Structure 1
Amino acid sequence: MSHIKSSSADLLARVRRIGGQVGAIDRALQADASCSEILHLVAAVRGAVNGLLDEIIAEHLEAHVSRPGLDDAERAAGAEELLAVIRRYSK
């Protein structure tokens, strides 16, 4: 996915932040933090992962579905790839 390279620094920064948030959950569990605190941390990670997924979906749509110059087969393949991800994610 060469189109991702243009935004890879931003995506990697998001992934590193998510890693830090997951580390915070680890530390909270080890420190016997309250259920409420842990739930908030987990919800924050879920939101961050959803944001990352949204960004990658948008880039995929632009590069593989709506980009001018794509032929019908390329558009169909891009749409099918995206549909497979959405179906997997929604389970």
Structure 2
Amino acid sequence: MPHSPEEKKRAITRLRRIRGQAEALETAIDTGASCSQVLQQLAAVRGAVNGLMAEVLEGHLRESFGPTAPPGDADEAIDEVAALVRSYLR
């Protein structure tokens, strides 16, 4: 999870962009936009969510394994991250 004010602001900005894209997708479907327009909007939403996921995951990895990581069981932390990635890829 983003911890610094800068990271939080960046994540919230991404979420607001995703919300706007989802609303545009809803409007496109509601107004009967062409399939290609809907698919393009879906791809944009997916890309935005993937970007946010990558950013949050990177922060989590740095926090778990970086120089400031708390001492502990690395295997447990790796299992946690692997489970997160598996659940996201479903």
TM-score, normalised to structure 1, is 0.87
Residue aligning to 1:36: 36
Q: Which moved more, 1:78-87 or 1:64-73?
A: 64-73
- Relative distance call for 1:69 and 1:83 in structure 2 (3 A) is closer
Structure 1: gaps spanning 5 or more residues: none
Q: Matched residues, percent identical?
A: 36
Alignment match, 2:77: 78
* 1:11 paired residue number: 11
| Corresponding pairs, count | 88
Q: Which has the higher contact order (CA 8 A, sep 6+)?
A: 2
**Does structure 2 retain, via aligned residues, the 8 Å contact 1:18–1:49?**
yes
Gap regions ≥5 residues in structure 2: none
**1:21/1:44 contact within 8 Å kept:** yes
Provide closer, same or farther for how the CA distance between residues 71 and 5 of structure 1 changes in structure 2, counting only shifts above 3 A: closer
RMSD after superposition: 1.5
1:5 is matched by which residue type in structure 2?
H
How many Å apart are 1:78 and its aligned residue? 2.6
Distance 1:9 1:82 in 2: 24
SS at match of 1:64: helix
Identify the residue that residue 52 of structure 1 maps to in structure 2: 52
Q: Distance in 1 between matches of 2:82 and 2:25?
A: 31
Taking structure 2 as the reference length, what is the TM-score of the superposition? 0.88
